[in-house]
Amino acid sequence: MKSYFIASTDAGMGKTYLITSVLRELTAAGFSVAGFKPVACGERTEARLMREAMGQPTLSLELLNPVYLRSSADPMMAAQLERKSLSVDRLKEAYQALSSQYECILVEGCNGWLTPLAEGVSMEDVAEALQLPVILVTENRCGAAGQVALTAAAIKRCGLECAGVVLNHPGEEWDTAAVTNKELIEKTTGLPVLASLIAGEDIGADFLAQLQ
């Protein structure tokens, strides 16, 4: 089972939902798998959900989320408000410590691909340091194809592989854009749509098979 960097086109696209669904399924199947949230701002909900999905509710949050900033802002500004500095090297070391204990790590980015961490440093630099294939999550709505194309181009420019796209449909009703986005994204970007998530449903076996 491979490790992956789970990125998104923006905040609130469904990264945590995808990761926790995968963690539950793989943990139940006996895989050694963990979630990793390098940087969290405002709260640690994502890391808490990850450890619950791993079936380890008492696991140290610091192991899964090494940098926690209390301010609800983008990391660069939250760090400045708290007079802290963010280091890609520190985040890489934390990832390596976790990967020494688990065979597969699902890394969750913070907000969008180029979210600033410090002057001249973004989440892209963290992904590049970890050298993991990227799965890109976006909300299944009108405009998704353009956002995917922009982010996928940035991923390619830094030399990383975008393994595919996951469409997250949070509502119950499907409009024309939601129905046609899969075909549009695959035709215009050449990337496979690995799964279409529907609110309240866990990830399917077909998607899990593609992670191996």
4, β-bridge pairs: 106
Confidence of residue 206 (pLDDT cuts 50, 70, 90): confident
List, by residue number, the catalytic residues: 37
Confidence of residue 156 (pLDDT cuts 50, 70, 90): very high
Residue spans of the domains in the chain: they are 4-210
Confidence of residue 144 (pLDDT cuts 50, 70, 90): very high
CATH of domain 4-210: 3.40.50.300
For strands 116-118 and 121-122, give the pairing: antiparallel
Query: Do 30 and 103 form a contact (C-beta atoms < 8 A)?
Result: no
42 pLDDT more than 80: yes
Q: Which residue has tokens 């708290």?
A: 82
Distance in angstroms (rounded) separating the CA atoms of residues 59 and 36: 12
Helix (H, G, I), strand (E, B) or coil at 190: coil
Q: Supply the pLDDT for residue 200.
A: 66
Average pLDDT over residues 124-147: 97
Q: Supply the pLDDT for residue 174.
A: 84
> Global pTM?
0.95
